[in-house]
Amino acid sequence: MVVTGAARGIGQGIAQVLLRNGARVVGVDRTAGEGVDVVADISTPEANRDMVAYAVQKYGRLDAVVACAAVSRRGPFVDIQPEDLAFTFAPTLYGAFYTCQAGAKQLIAQGGGGSILIVGSVHVHQHNPNSASYNMAKAAMASLSRTIASELAGYGIRVNSILPGWTDTPGELNFATREQLDEAGRRLPLGRLGQPEDVGQAALYLLSDEAAYVTGCELLVDGGITLNTRSANSKGNA
């Protein structure tokens, strides 16, 4: 199977969990690193076709694709420039689309079903300020997941998504200190930030035969962060 964004963070966590459980993984990222088999910019259709072809050549077939690669530039909505929007959308939204499309074409061609997994975000439900472009991309990915789940079910191809909450990844240190992240984790219902492996374990389930009857699912892996939001939003309402 192919996992994009595998060089670090959630993508790396997913790839490592899958590998430990016997999966044959092709890690893809735009930067080289441990566990990265293909260095590519997945924001183009050609790169996604090439990475799928690589996986098929190496292992003889494709069983699943995991669209995880994502980036974000944060800031006030009124200050977002076209280049900022393009920076976020290219790998995060367009990349996910092309990854799923390339994977689906191969799965249909070879027959026998398969699985597609999109790594979204709780930002689909929790619309944090100063993240407009990222929120938009993840919301569009949620719609993509449900749409193609219905289209591909007839081929025996399952499509699901994971919505991670606040996860302790290297990218988060671009926006907060270590101390701030630890304190934020202590305020969550489960008392800590998520770890990439938490998302990896969820991915393992959704990609496994144990989830053979699961498609069109959005699995929250958020430590209860959206429970806080729902509770706050319900205060004072009849």
Residues belonging to the active site: 121, 134, 138
Q: How far is CA 100 from the centre of its chain?
A: 11
| Separation CA 192–CA 123 (nearest Å) | 18
List strand residue ranges (DSSP E) for the chain, in order. Answer: 2-4, 26-29, 38-39, 64-67, 114-119, 157-164, 218-221
Both tokens of 100, joined, read 């799923």
Give me the amino acid identity at 38.
Answer: V
Q: Which residues contact 74 (CB under 8 A, 6 or more apart)?
A: 130, 131, 134, 175
| CA distances from residue 188 to 47, 146, 222 in whole angstroms, order as listed | 38, 29, 9
| Separation CA 59–CA 6 (nearest Å) | 18
Instruction: Count Cα atoms within 13 angstroms, Cβ side, for 104.
Output: 25
Q: What are the φ and ψ backbone dihedral angles of 118, each rounded to 5 degrees?
A: -110, 130
DSSP for 199-238 reads: HHHHHHHHHSGGGTT--S-EEEESTTHHHHHHHHHHTT--
Helix (H, G, I), strand (E, B) or coil at 145: helix
